[in-house]
A and B are shown apart, each in its own frame.
Chain A
Amino acid sequence: MITFEHVSVQYADAPAPSLRDVTLEIPEGELVLVVGPTGSGKSTLLRTINGLVPHFSGGTLTGRVTVDGLDTAGHRPRDLATVVGLVEQNPSSTFVTDVVEDEVAYGMETMGLDSTTIRRRVEETLDLFGLTPLRGRALRTLSGGQQQRVAIAALFAAGPRVLVLDEPTSALDPVAAEEVLASLHRIVHDLGVTVVLAEHRLERVVHHADRVVLVDEGHVSELLDPAEAMLRSQIYPPVVGLSRLVGWSPTPLSIRDARRKAAALRDALGTSTPRPVADLRVIGPADAVIVDRLRVSRGGRIVLDGVDLAVARGSVTTLMGRNGAGKSTLLGAIAAQHRLVGGTVRVGAEGVDPHARSARERVRTVGLVPQQPELLLYADTVAAECTAADADFGAAPGTARGLLDRISGGIDPAVHPRDLSEGQRLELALAVILSGSPEVLLLDEPTRGLDYGAKKRLGEMLTGLAAQGTTVLLATHDVELAAEVADRVVILADGEVVTDGPAREVLASSPAFAPQVTKVLLPQTWLTVAEVAGALARIA
């Protein structure tokens, strides 16, 4: 269906080619997962399939890419639209119309199908993706998961033989991600569409894949069996980590397969209990954030309705919940980014009201890294950004730079912040905010677009900060990160706190938010591979 023959891609200003000599053949009707660290060339590989690389992006492509017999050299992306559909990471920025039904019809209109066919296929597609109740809704009012499903449906309706998806679930909560993946599963199995997808959150997708392709520094492996690929891959989901630790063979990819093999492991772990992270540092006794009956409205709608929350000093707390549950708004309200309708916020040892302080004073008590860290970055080099941060926060010269060097694995100071990878950009934004040495650090969805390596560094850094007494409150969909770092988990739904308790208790008891290791080893409540490894080492 898709063939690559000795394909290399070199962008104009890049020091090294993004893809090197790729030869690959993807057969029809397969769900192929592309796995690789950030910046390895995954996105470039996906975009060569419909010709956006090089027709739209620029750069030089050597070799040949053919899709369903059409050579991308001679066919522009718009000519390939009948054959390939490409779903971008952030669907809201790619919508061309305003309403769900119009968006689904749009592709067929550009293709010139007659209106009875369009009518029929719009209905079929809406049914297939479960979008019928949403057909008249305005696109901008949909949640992230719904938007992603509309984006996939809109492409699917046009009847392409191949769907290409770039990180379709990384911005979604676990339940919404499942819905998206279920839709994909259906069109692959029932309708024989070929799907190629890249995703960092392997724990969500690897068991859906028929084949896996590993990408590293522009080198692309052949099509591999998923289990075999997970043995070789540098990045792997926790269930594979567990399997590697214990030596299961063949490598289980789904929770179900792993549970079948896990009986012996559960016996071996026996009565030993996990060591809680919090034992290693001092938490409390006082609270660093106290939120009392908080009410916030945005755009005329009550987003937070009477939220009470207390976060102990030196703890790491994660806020979880569906897309649109009010997590970002809560963080924004604590950092005085949104006006309050009612209730109070007190932050820090002195119980400062951030809403009553000027921006300059406020940043000493509470620092927020927003969902899009690039919003914090203004300068045109990393070095200039650090200097500006020192000036903004009145810190000693070199503070931000020192922090950055400690946080990151070494970032070239001459690079433009926009050219950094997602992970590096987050690290830079963190260094900027930490230059103000805030008592409370808030992070909004920090793991979007981070690979496992960057996520691990982030986790270590957050626990390190907490050990030094900084209170960390982060909103995330990433249950694995929560399992690694959190002392406490708070779950929001529809603007109210529904669960608030120790991380282990909350995560292990929730079907949506339980990490993979927990699901495999229930009823024992282990959260991470590291915990299990530690316990096994103690037993041995």
Chain B
Amino acid sequence: MARLQRKARLQHPAAWWLWGLGLATAASRTTDPVLLLLVIGVCLLVVDERHDPATVNPLPAFLAIGAAVVAFRIVMTALLGNGIVGETVVLTLPSVPLPDWAAGVRVGGTVTLESLLYAAYDALRLAAVLACLGAANALASPRRLLRYLPATLYDVGTAVVVGLTFAPQLLTDAREVRAARTLRGRDGRGLREMARLTVPVLETAFERSLGLAASMESRGYGRAVRSTTTSRRTATGLALAGLVGVLAGLYGLLDSSAGGVLGLPVLVLGTLLAGSSLLVGASRDPRSGHRRDRWTWTETVTVVAGAVPGAVLVVGSVQGWEGIVPSQRAELPAVPLIAVLALLVAATPAWLSPRPREVAP
């Protein structure tokens, strides 16, 4: 096949977010470390190939949080146990005797490899879901996604933009405040120091967020000039109902214990409601687009590439394939080949999607 020289452009943000959602669904359904690491690897690969160079790549921050989650879970499990009885004792910590009423709780004592592995796998699942979220963030800035939110949902939009700016800014601020702390002769380590840093960091971030909200307001964000009160209320009502539906559905999908049967229909219903609110809002939306993103076949391919592993792993977990939830023994987990292949499909957009715009440094 001849190499097509496609014009560099950014894919439709919704495509990347749906892709990320599919991959996250897949990750949430398994605790197999091989599969989860594969998910993280796919995220890294696609982000490396296709992330938007105009924004700071947030994936490393998400991975760092994921790593912190894993470390925290392992330490807590070693200290407090997690109810998993294992045979392979790794080490024995001095145990703290607790009174009778605290039966069932232990502090210290023997630490088994099985309980540690269980905790690590479980935390790794969360880390992988975080990586999917980080990847979607890096591939399509949420601010671009927000352009598709109708003006009728003004308040939601402002809250989301401010929230999205808040989180990454918080990291920058924390770094700055900590650096400034050393100027007062403190090294910013230790719990007490951390507590002291919280207030100025939050204050700075809040001030900044408020400034951004004021700027959006004075630049005309949310001018629903041609909409009527009724249509605005209908759209907001539908959107709220839809949002609740989507969240409940996602919860059902992501948490297998809540019953996967209910998850999908609720998600579909929620999406329909949210979609109709978008339609009601958009039909009266006076905003226009400067170079709106197009939806071409690459967008469809991207969404499908995300949906495939999601669907395969949901089926796998419902049918209880071997290896999707590894056994609680200290041994190498079985790796279901179909799941691996499905996850590899998710990596294809790294080459199939168009190259992102080039931004001068």
Point out residues on A near B: beta carbons under 8 Å.
50, 52, 55-56, 76-82, 84-86, 88, 90, 93-94, 96-99, 101-102, 105-115, 118-119, 122, 136-141, 154-155, 158, 335-337, 358-360, 362-363, 367-368, 370, 372, 374-378, 380, 389, 392-393, 418, 432-433, 436
Point out residues on B near A: beta carbons under 8 Å.
52-56, 141, 143-144, 147, 151, 161, 176-177, 179-180, 182-187, 196-197, 199-200, 203-204, 208, 211-223, 225, 285-292, 357-361
Report Cα–Cα, A107/B217, bound state, in Å. 11
Residues of A within 8 A of B161 (CB): 96
Question: Once the chains bind, are B290 and A158 in contact (CB under 8 Å)?
Answer: no
Residue of B147, B216, B290, B360 with most chain A CB atoms under a 10 A cut-off: B290
Residue from B183, B185, B196, B219 within 8 A of A107 (CB atoms): B219
Question: Once the chains bind, are B185 and A393 in contact (CB under 8 Å)?
Answer: yes
Report Cα–Cα, A418/B179, bound state, in Å. 19
Main secondary structure of the interface of B (DSSP, over half): loop
Evaluate whether A94 and B184 lie within 8 angstroms (CB atoms) in the complex, with A109-B147, A112-B288, A375-B200 already known: no
Question: Once the chains bind, are B185 and A362 in contact (CB under 8 Å)?
Answer: yes
Evaluate whether A375 and B52 lie within 8 angstroms (CB atoms) in the complex, with A78-B217, A93-B212 already known: no
Question: Once the chains bind, are A81 and B180 in contact (CB under 8 Å)?
Answer: no
Question: Once the chains bind, are A376 and B183 in contact (CB under 8 Å)?
Answer: yes
Question: Once the chains bind, are B359 and A138 in contact (CB under 8 Å)?
Answer: yes
Question: Once the chains bind, are A418 and B288 in contact (CB under 8 Å)?
Answer: no
Distance in Å: Cβ of A333 to nearest Cβ of chain B: 12
Evaluate whether A363 and B203 lie within 8 angstroms (CB atoms) in the complex, with A115-B290, A378-B196 already known: no
Chain B residue at minimum C-beta to C-beta distance from A363: B185
Question: Once the chains bind, are B183 and A363 in contact (CB under 8 Å)?
Answer: yes
Report Cα–Cα, A370/B182, bound state, in Å. 12
Evaluate whether A433 and B183 lie within 8 angstroms (CB atoms) in the complex, with A109-B287, A136-B359 already known: yes
Chain B residue at minimum C-beta to C-beta distance from A442: B183
Question: Once the chains bind, are A109 and B214 in contact (CB under 8 Å)?
Answer: no
Report Cα–Cα, A408/B288, bound state, in Å. 53
Residues of B within 8 A of A88 (CB): 211, 214-215
Report Cα–Cα, A90/B215, bound state, in Å. 11
Chain A residue at minimum C-beta to C-beta distance from B210: A56
A-B pairs under 8 A by CB, number: 174
A-B contact pairs, 12 of them (CB 8 A): A78-B221, A94-B215, A96-B216, A101-B290, A112-B223, A112-B285, A336-B182, A337-B183, A359-B183, A375-B176, A377-B200, A378-B199
Evaluate whether A82 and B220 lie within 8 angstroms (CB atoms) in the complex, with A99-B359, A376-B180, A378-B200 already known: yes
Distance in Å: Cβ of A484 to nearest Cβ of chain B: 25
Chain A residue at minimum C-beta to C-beta distance from B220: A81
Question: Once the chains bind, are A109 and B183 in contact (CB under 8 Å)?
Answer: no
Question: Once the chains bind, are B147 and A136 in contact (CB under 8 Å)?
Answer: no
Evaluate whether A432 and B360 lie within 8 angstroms (CB atoms) in the complex, with A52-B214, A94-B211, A155-B219 already known: no
Residue of B187, B217, B359 with most chain A CB atoms under a 10 A cut-off: B217
Residue from B184, B197, B204, B289 within 8 A of A389 (CB atoms): B184
Residues of A within 8 A of B144 (CB): 97-98
Residues of A within 8 A of B223 (CB): 78-79, 81, 110-112
Residues of B within 8 A of A138 (CB): 53-55, 359
Question: Once the chains bind, are B220 and A376 in contact (CB under 8 Å)?
Answer: no
Question: Once the chains bind, are A96 and B221 in contact (CB under 8 Å)?
Answer: yes
Report Cα–Cα, A357/B357, bound state, in Å. 46
Report Cα–Cα, A498/B199, bound state, in Å. 41
Other A-B pairs, 12, CB within 8 Å; known A81-B220, A88-B214, A97-B143: A81-B223, A94-B211, A96-B221, A108-B288, A109-B288, A112-B286, A112-B287, A113-B288, A137-B359, A367-B183, A375-B204, A418-B203
Residue from B176, B184, B286 within 8 A of A363 (CB atoms): B184
Question: Once the chains bind, are A393 and B184 in contact (CB under 8 Å)?
Answer: yes
- When A and B form their complex, which 10 residue pairs have the shortest distance between CB atoms, in order from nearest? A81-B220, A112-B286, A94-B215, A105-B290, A375-B180, A138-B54, A363-B185, A359-B182, A98-B54, A110-B220
Report Cα–Cα, A363/B182, bound state, in Å. 8
Residues of A within 8 A of B203 (CB): 418
Distance in Å: Cβ of A207 to nearest Cβ of chain B: 29
Report Cα–Cα, A67/B176, bound state, in Å. 41
Question: Once the chains bind, are B186 and A81 in contact (CB under 8 Å)?
Answer: no
Distance in Å: Cβ of A439 to nearest Cβ of chain B: 15
Distance in Å: Cβ of B355 to nearest Cβ of chain A: 14
Evaluate whether A110 and B221 lie within 8 angstroms (CB atoms) in the complex, with A98-B55, A118-B288, A141-B361 already known: yes
Residues of A within 8 A of B56 (CB): 140
Question: Once the chains bind, are B211 and A106 in contact (CB under 8 Å)?
Answer: no
Residues of A within 8 A of B214 (CB): 52, 56, 88, 94
Residues of B within 8 A of A97 (CB): 143-144
Distance in Å: Cβ of B246 to nearest Cβ of chain A: 25
Question: Once the chains bind, are B290 and A118 in contact (CB under 8 Å)?
Answer: yes
Question: Once the chains bind, are A337 and B179 in contact (CB under 8 Å)?
Answer: yes
Question: Once the chains bind, are B358 and A136 in contact (CB under 8 Å)?
Answer: yes
Report Cα–Cα, A55/B214, bound state, in Å. 10
Distance in Å: Cβ of B287 to nearest Cβ of chain A: 5
Distance in Å: Cβ of B69 to nearest Cβ of chain A: 27
Question: Once the chains bind, are B219 and A96 in contact (CB under 8 Å)?
Answer: yes
Question: Once the chains bind, are B289 and A109 in contact (CB under 8 Å)?
Answer: yes
Evaluate whether A337 and B218 lie within 8 angstroms (CB atoms) in the complex, with A98-B141, A137-B360, A418-B203 already known: no
Residues of B within 8 A of A436 (CB): 184-185
Residues of A within 8 A of B288 (CB): 108-109, 112-115, 118
Report Cα–Cα, A257/B172, bound state, in Å. 47
Chain B residue at minimum C-beta to C-beta distance from A433: B183
Residue of A96, A106, A140, A377 with most chain B CB atoms under a 10 A cut-off: A96
Residues of A within 8 A of B291 (CB): 105, 115
Chain A residue at minimum C-beta to C-beta distance from B224: A78
Report Cα–Cα, A35/B289, bound state, in Å. 40
Residues of B within 8 A of A376 (CB): 180, 183-184
Residue from A122, A336, A433 within 8 A of B290 (CB atoms): A122
Question: Once the chains bind, are A370 and B183 in contact (CB under 8 Å)?
Answer: yes
Question: Once the chains bind, are A375 and B177 in contact (CB under 8 Å)?
Answer: yes
Residues of A within 8 A of B215 (CB): 86, 88, 93-94, 96
Question: Once the chains bind, are A77 and B217 in contact (CB under 8 Å)?
Answer: yes
Residue from B52, B186, B200, B360 within 8 A of A136 (CB atoms): B360
Residues of A within 8 A of B287 (CB): 109-112
Report Cα–Cα, A166/B56, bound state, in Å. 28
Residues of B within 8 A of A158 (CB): 219-220
Residue of B53, B56, B215, B222 with most chain A CB atoms under a 10 A cut-off: B215
Residues of B within 8 A of A107 (CB): 219-220
Question: Once the chains bind, are B219 and A110 in contact (CB under 8 Å)?
Answer: yes
Residues of B within 8 A of A113 (CB): 288
Residue of B180, B286, B291 with most chain A CB atoms under a 10 A cut-off: B180
Report Cα–Cα, A362/B179, bound state, in Å. 13
Report Cα–Cα, A306/B128, bound state, in Å. 44
Residues of B within 8 A of A78 (CB): 217-223
Distance in Å: Cβ of B214 to nearest Cβ of chain A: 5
Distance in Å: Cβ of A434 to nearest Cβ of chain B: 12
Residue from B218, B290, B358 within 8 A of A86 (CB atoms): B218
Question: Once the chains bind, are B183 and A93 in contact (CB under 8 Å)?
Answer: no
Question: Once the chains bind, are B200 and A374 in contact (CB under 8 Å)?
Answer: yes
Report Cα–Cα, A279/B361, bound state, in Å. 48
Distance in Å: Cβ of A497 to nearest Cβ of chain B: 24
Distance in Å: Cβ of A431 to nearest Cβ of chain B: 12
Report Cα–Cα, A291/B215, bound state, in Å. 42
